[in-house]
Amino acid sequence: MKIIEYGKAHEEVLLLLHGGGLSAWNYRDAANQLKENYHVIVPQLAGHADSDCPFASIENQAKEIIDYIDKNFKGTILAIGGLSLGGQVLIEMLAQRSDICKFAFIESALILPMKLTAALIAPVLGMSYGLIKQKWFAKLQFKSLKIQAKLFEDYYRDTCKIQKHDMIRFLKANASYRMKPSLSETTANVTILVGSKERGNMRRSAELLHALIPNSKYQILNGYSHGELSLNHPNEYVELLINTLSTSNEGLRHTHTFAADNQITSKNREI
């Protein structure tokens, strides 16, 4: 497993898991801020650009990262964040190892399987995969993802490196993933993030995660689409992480709206 590290001199470790089809640049701006106070690790997910192994499953990827933490950090670290596919890997890690981290930040993670979507991935990619390396097509795809413009060249370069069989596997895994009941046993302080402009199944997934995970916090990102917080607003993402790491709320679950101007409104909610 290939990794990128920032701030290696620091003792407290943060691990960030990028989204499907993306790469370590997903967290580059955030990591460059966090490295002033933390040792930040960004693994390259299997089957993605410059990865040293093919994608097998979300479960396998979670186990590989847990093994890495066992080997290098005695089985537990301060915090893990994950976006979309990376968020699903994080959910699986929490289910496989209840104390893998003290804090977890799950952003835009789907846990409601989409059977039709999963069934269509292979035939659709079979017809369209050749277009991925066409820049005009990549620009259309990139625009639909609502990622900030400065990341296009990173996106285009790394998307072109993904093999068709890997893309089919991780997209099908993303569309098919179900959370495990053992997730309820996690001891981590978990924050669940979802954009107010995301699809209904994404918001419902966040609500189900919140209902299952004890003492979790559920934050609605007002005006944001899928993955926009960490991808397009790294300053806000870093602020959220640092504020959570420094002030842990116990006992009550909360629903928050994270506004674009960084103002947070909240109300207590019982589940």
Model-level pTM? 0.90
In this predicted structure, what is the pLDDT of residue 254? 38
pLDDT greater at residue 50 or residue 258: 50
In angstroms, rounded to a whole number, what is the distance separating the alpha carbons of residues 51 and 265?
40
In this predicted structure, what is the pLDDT of residue 140? 95
pLDDT of 266 above 70: no
The arithmetic mean of pLDDT across residues 181-196, rounded, is 97
In angstroms, rounded to a whole number, what is the distance separating the alpha carbons of residues 143 and 243?
31
In angstroms, rounded to a whole number, what is the distance separating the alpha carbons of residues 44 and 3?
6
- List the one residue out of 144, 148, 142 whose CA is nearest residue 230: 148
pLDDT of 226 above 90: yes
Q: Please list, residue by residue across 229-241, b when 16 or more beta carbons sit within 10 angstroms of its beta carbon and e when fewer do.
A: bbbbbbebbbebb
The tens digit of pLDDT for each residue in 96-109 reads: 999 999 999 999 99
Count of domains forming the chain: 1
Coil, helix or strand for 4?
Answer: strand
- Token reading at 190: 């978990």
In this predicted structure, what is the pLDDT of residue 238? 98
In angstroms, rounded to a whole number, what is the distance separating the alpha carbons of residues 95 and 80?
14
User: Own/partner pairs for 142-145, CB < 8 Å, 24+ apart?
Assistant: 145/226, 145/227
pLDDT of 168 above 90: yes
Mean pLDDT lowest among 89-98, 192-201, 238-247, 249-258: 249-258
In this predicted structure, what is the pLDDT of residue 248? 56
Backbone angles phi, psi at 267, to 5 degrees: -145, 145
- List the one residue out of 198, 262, 185 whose CA is nearest residue 224: 198
Q: Please list, residue by residue across 171-188, b when 16 or more beta carbons sit within 10 angstroms of its beta carbon and e when fewer do.
A: bbbbbbbebbeebeebeb
- Residue 182 sits in a domain whose CATH number is 3.40.50.1820
Q: Is the CB of residue 39 less than 8 Å from the CB of residue 11?
A: yes
Domain membership of residue 119 as a residue range: 3-269
Which residues lie below 8 Å from residue 140, measured CB to CB, with a gap of 6+?
Answer: none
pLDDT of 271 above 60: no
The arithmetic mean of pLDDT across residues 21-31, rounded, is 96
Categorize the per-residue pLDDT at 52 as very low, low, confident or very high, splitting at 50, 70 and 90.
confident
In this predicted structure, what is the pLDDT of residue 16? 99
In this predicted structure, what is the pLDDT of residue 247? 75
Beta bridge partners of 42: 4
- Cα dihedral 238, 241, 247, 251, rounded to 10, equals 150
The tens digit of pLDDT for each residue in 239-250 reads: 999 999 987 543
pLDDT of 270 above 90: no
